[in-house]
Structure 1
Amino acid sequence: MINYWAEHAWLPDGWAERVRLTEADGRFTSVITGAEPEPGDERLTGMVFPGFANAHSHAFHRALRGRTQSGRGSFWTWREKMYALAGRLDPDSLLELARACYTELALAGFTVVGEFHYLHDDHEGRRYADPNAMGRALLEAAREVGLRITLLDTCYLAGGLDDSGHRPPDPVQRRFSDGDVDHWSGRVADLIATETEPAGLTRIGIAAHSVRAVPAADLGAIGAAFPELPLHVHLSEQPAENEACLAHYGRTPARLLDDHGLLGPRTTVVHATHLTADDRARLGGSGTCACFCPTTERDLADGIGPARELADAGAPLALGTDQHAVIDPFEELRGLELHERLRTGERGRFGTEELITAATAAGYRSLGWSDGGTIAAGQRCDLVVVDPSSIRTAGSRPDQLCYAATAADVRRVVVGGRTIVADGLPVQVTPDLTILDRLWEDA
């Protein structure tokens, strides 16, 4: 059992002062406000937030940072560089890369990551001796860092969609595809059956990559394969996706998912950028979560999605870093509000409480951790301590600290009662960052 004491902590009702937290077996057992520290209490020096959730990650994209920024282009030209990187990875190099990425996530204050995983086979599209070797590399990287992970094993069957239908996977996409839903579900079932996690850090979820990569006839089967697991889908990230779906199916991607039973509280749609009023009503009315990735959506010139309208319609909002051009939970939660300001010309579109919920509890729920992301008795003991007196945060009111802080202000990170970042440094692993250069040798 550990007793913590904090001058300030973010609780379900907002900021509270002089908070005494008791942890046992990785969970908060009591949370008392207005308390004085007792002998033996461990003082948390700074502002204490619940653990931040990264609800959408592609760990291997971290190697693209600083290599895809020059020259004109679009999402589609960026994708070609991403595919080139994907073709260079194997289980060993993916483990190294994910270890570096997840260490950076932990240092930034993320305590759980949703890894949207579709690099399944080798670069020729052949299964490894262990068909889940790539997924296990990601799980192992998270364990080494001490990060919670939901591995969202992704079904990816087609190479694209146009008005004539779905194309077979391109050569570079062959390693993404299991061929059909039955082979995908069989591999996922094996992963679930053989992947144990005694520390309680690992969960498995599922994903349909997008309506571009999964024919409509297969959507329902994906949803029905593992009905108890969280389900994620890329949705309407680009206008071209909507146009192709309308041309071939006569309906938007959101309506297509709805028609096949994929919308609902267990589902999270990622990006949700280019939506119609009907799309927003379907997502909100079904309680489908929408995960926004503001730093990626602006980096890739995707556009700005209708976050406020989705929230008002009833859709919970979560946040992710997607391609990791930036890894900073404060940048993402600020981006949710600041993009709204750019889009509407109005300030204060989201309150602080809404932004922090999107960055914490809502993301945890979207990844199947409904008992995390909140500092309350019975919840998992995941917390982040932020320096309120750094050169960036000094002078900030507590309720506006999230507008001033950055990942550099994170001093301590605790997951399940175990410290994984102390004094701004990783505790459990020091990654070899040369992988970020070695992957591009001879490119």
Structure 2
Amino acid sequence: MTTWWCESAWLDSPTDGVRVTEDGGRITAVEVGDPRPGDRRLTGLVLPGLADAHSHAFHRALRGRTHDDGGTFWTWRRQMYAVAARLDPDTYLALARATYAELALAGVTCVGEFSYLHHPAGGGRYADPNAMSEALVQAAADAGVRLTLLDTCYLSGGPDGAPLDDVQQRFSDGDADAWAARVAGLPERDGLRIGAAVHSVRAVPADQLATVAAAAAGRPLHVHVSEQPAENTATLAATGCTPTALLAEHGVLGPDTTAVHAVHLTDDDVATLAATGTGVCACPSTEADLADGIGPFRRLADAGVPLCLGSDQHVRGDLLGEAQALEATARLVSGERGRFTPAELVTALTAAGHRALGWPDAGRLAVGQRADLVAVRRDSVRTAGCAPGELPLVAAAADVTTVVVEGRVVVEDGRHVLGDVGALLAAAIGDLR
């Protein structure tokens, strides 16, 4: 049993002098009071663990390379496919381990990996058909974070059923039944949830969507939705529906489903997401980096759609920064400040993200929850002079000092248990370049 005395902790709001007792990786008591002998002290503001609800770990190799003298999402995708073509289980493990460790340094205790690099480059199969997935599982364990593996169905090159190109061959199991059979061979274990994903309505034909939804029943199911206007245009031409309407028609939407991006939505799309209880994961740094646009996130929240946050292509490795970008972009499109309260941002960073990833027992500092604690400095050049309740609006990954995952200290004094994470990233990315 360990007791942590927090100078300030985020309960329903910032509260000074909070003692959190952990036993067996769970919170067994939360009390307000002075420190006692034997307490481990955490200075600054202590948040629940952050949940990165949408990660593509291999995109970390592209950081800094997306300016590319201009272009669009579709020209960027060629660069991304070039990296995808060079990965194997060993290089994937090295890159994902370092990427997840970087997220841990930023306060992330749980990652949702939207994974579609299933097979060898060009197609074929590894001796273990889930070798690439097992690399991700090992990477998360090494980095000390929980993982929800959102194993992704990817079958076609467009909503009209266009064939896959050479790089996309490694993403595909052939059909949704074969995909489901492979995923069934992935056992859950401590620190791991197995979820599912429809890559997009571009990549899974309409007649295969119901099979994916049935196979994912009772588990987290994520899907890229309306990230680009061209996706909407192509889907309308092929099916007569928006992506959201098509997913609803085939039973993909619901309380276990999270629509990722959801940038270019109609009013009917917003109403459908709300009516079905579907959540939305915003990835503001990626949506800006790839010139996707700004989603109607305040409108979605007002309609009752739960919002969470993801790092997606790891533009910055800073989930606190993603929350601040959510607020900043909402200001830009509305002409008004204060579009999301600090409490709403903290919920998106923590409890909502964990729920979207299948961990409803994480993301709050409360009895029975997993003992995840993230200490954020109040005395850095970014946070000095700010009250605890203001830190979600200004703090950065560099202000995270201590990260505890289910009672285990993974980051202490800003240093990860794996050591020099920058060196790990440089080595892993250098091997791919």
TM over 0.5: yes
C-alpha contact 1:124 1:175 (8 A) present in aligned 2: yes
Whether 1:59 and 2:80 are equivalent positions in the alignment is no
Could you give the per-residue CA deviations for residues 68-121 of structure 1, whole angstroms, max 9, x where no partner exists? 223010000000000001000000000000011011000011110000000000
What is the distance in 1 between the residues matched to 2:68 and 2:170? 28
Deviation of 1:427 after TM superposition, in Å, equals 1.2
What is the distance in 2 between the residues matched to 1:232 and 1:136? 20
Whether 1:168 and 2:151 are equivalent positions in the alignment is no
Residue equivalent to 2:175: 180
What is the distance in 2 between the residues matched to 1:206 and 1:118? 10
Could you give the per-residue CA deviations for residues 225-255 of structure 1, whole angstroms, max 9, x where no partner exists? 1311100000000000000111111110001
Residue equivalent to 1:92: 90
What is the distance in 2 between the residues matched to 1:347 and 1:118? 38
Bigger mean CA offset, 373-382 vs 65-74: 65-74
Deviation of 1:344 after TM superposition, in Å, equals 0.9
Q: What is the number of equivalent residue pairs in this alignment?
A: 430
What is the distance in 2 between the residues matched to 1:429 and 1:316? 36
Whether 1:243 and 2:233 are equivalent positions in the alignment is yes
Residue equivalent to 1:289: 279
Residue equivalent to 1:340: 330
What is the distance in 2 between the residues matched to 1:423 and 1:243? 49
C-alpha contact 2:311 2:322 (8 A) present in aligned 1: yes
* Equivalences for residues 19-30 of structure 1 within 5 A: 19-30=18-29
Residue equivalent to 1:424: 414
Residue equivalent to 2:15: 16
What is the distance in 2 between the residues matched to 1:338 and 1:102? 26
Listed as ranges, the gaps of 5+ residues in structure 1 are none
Question: 1:435 pairs with 411, 428, 432, which one?
Answer: 428
C-alpha contact 2:254 2:277 (8 A) present in aligned 1: yes
Could you give the per-residue CA deviations for residues 295-325 of structure 1, whole angstroms, max 9, x where no partner exists? 0000000000000111111110000000001
* Equivalences for residues 30-429 of structure 1 within 5 A: 30-33=29-32, 35-161=33-159, 165-192=160-187, 196-197=188-189, 200-428=190-418
Deviation of 1:429 after TM superposition, in Å, equals 5.4
What is the distance in 2 between the residues matched to 1:221 and 1:247? 23
C-alpha contact 2:6 2:42 (8 A) present in aligned 1: yes
Deviation of 1:437 after TM superposition, in Å, equals 1.5
What is the distance in 2 between the residues matched to 1:210 and 1:286? 18
What is the distance in 2 between the residues matched to 1:262 and 1:429? 42
Could you give the per-residue CA deviations for residues 200-224 of structure 1, whole angstroms, max 9, x where no partner exists? 3111100010000000101111000
What is the distance in 1 between the residues matched to 2:70 and 2:4? 51
Could you give the per-residue CA deviations for residues 240-279 of structure 1, whole angstroms, max 9, x where no partner exists? 0000111111110001111111111100000000000000
Deviation of 1:3 after TM superposition, in Å, equals 0.6
C-alpha contact 2:98 2:143 (8 A) present in aligned 1: no
What is the distance in 1 between the residues matched to 2:360 and 2:125? 34
C-alpha contact 1:145 1:429 (8 A) present in aligned 2: no
Listed as ranges, the gaps of 5+ residues in structure 2 are none
Could you give the per-residue CA deviations for residues 22-64 of structure 1, whole angstroms, max 9, x where no partner exists? 001111011012x111111111122100111100000000000
What is the distance in 2 between the residues matched to 1:247 and 1:346? 36
Deviation of 1:430 after TM superposition, in Å, equals 4.8
Q: Give, as a single letter, the amino acid of the residue that structure 2 aligns with 1:39.
A: P
Deviation of 1:428 after TM superposition, in Å, equals 4.0
C-alpha contact 2:19 2:35 (8 A) present in aligned 1: yes
SS at match of 2:184: helix
What is the RMSD computed on CA atoms of the aligned residues? Answer: 0.9
What is the distance in 2 between the residues matched to 1:388 and 1:151? 34
Q: Give, as a single letter, the amino acid of the residue that structure 2 aligns with 1:20.
A: R
Deviation of 1:435 after TM superposition, in Å, equals 1.7
What is the distance in 2 between the residues matched to 1:177 and 1:293? 25
TM-score by length of 2: 0.98
What is the distance in 2 between the residues matched to 1:15 and 1:130? 48
C-alpha contact 1:56 1:113 (8 A) present in aligned 2: yes
What is the distance in 1 between the residues matched to 2:304 and 2:273? 8
SS at match of 1:414: strand
Deviation of 1:398 after TM superposition, in Å, equals 1.4
What is the distance in 1 between the residues matched to 2:204 and 2:419? 37
C-alpha contact 1:19 1:32 (8 A) present in aligned 2: yes
What is the distance in 2 between the residues matched to 1:260 and 1:160? 17
Q: Give, as a single letter, the amino acid of the residue that structure 1 aligns with 2:69.
A: G
Q: Give, as a single letter, the amino acid of the residue that structure 2 aligns with 1:209.
A: H
